[in-house]
Amino acid sequence: MFDITLIAMGRLKEKFYLAAAEEYAKRLKGYCRFTLLELPETRLPEDPSPAEIAAGLEKEADLILSRIPKGAWLCVFTPEGKLLSSEAFAEKLRDVKNSGKSSACFLIGSSFGIAPRIKARADLRLSMGPMTFPHHLARIMVLEQLYRAESIQAGSKYHK
């Protein structure tokens, strides 16, 4: 069975987000071995300077790199990433599986983004579109799209 890891910076606190995340994680486990890793965001001052932000992202990068499963294909969600339809995303995930990889890792960065060296390490940089979403909602959207991609590959009726 294929392994999927979602690394998300920060913790969900709101009950409605937690319930949605748990539901999609439960559904995903019917298709793959799914792991959610919540990593702490670096604390920054109220109005951080660009240098403080860069230092914080680098500190987070060290933690992220230590948690990416060895040999995993890596996809990061970033505004400047590629736009894919749900079908194209499912096809990309199928291609990863067919390439011989046994795992994929997806990353949702912190509120200040993702360090450039993590983006450079990624096999795919993916955008959720030009709109801005709260990171907690983005996590639910990513979980739903992972579930949808697996459903599309399985030929289920979830994706219409």
Domain boundaries, the chain: 3-154
CB 60 within 8 A of CB 110: yes
Going by pLDDT thresholds of 50, 70 and 90, the confidence category of residue 144 is very high
pLDDT at 158 over 90: no
CATH topology for the 3-154 domain: Alpha/beta knot (3.40.1280)
What number of other Cβ atoms are within 10 A of residue 156's Cβ?
Answer: 13
pTM of the model: 0.95
Is residue 22 predicted with pLDDT exceeding 80? Answer: yes
C-alpha–C-alpha distance, residues 67 and 7, integer Å:
8
The confidence band for 143, taking pLDDT boundaries of 50, 70 and 90, is very high
- Decide: residue 16, CB within 10 A, 0-12 exposed, 13-18 middle, 19+ buried: exposed
Q: Please tell me the least confidently modeled range out of 2-6, 40-44, 131-135, 136-140.
A: 131-135
Is residue 9's pLDDT more than 90? Answer: yes
For residues 121-135, give the mean pLDDT. Answer: 94
Confidence of residue 135 (pLDDT cuts 50, 70, 90): confident
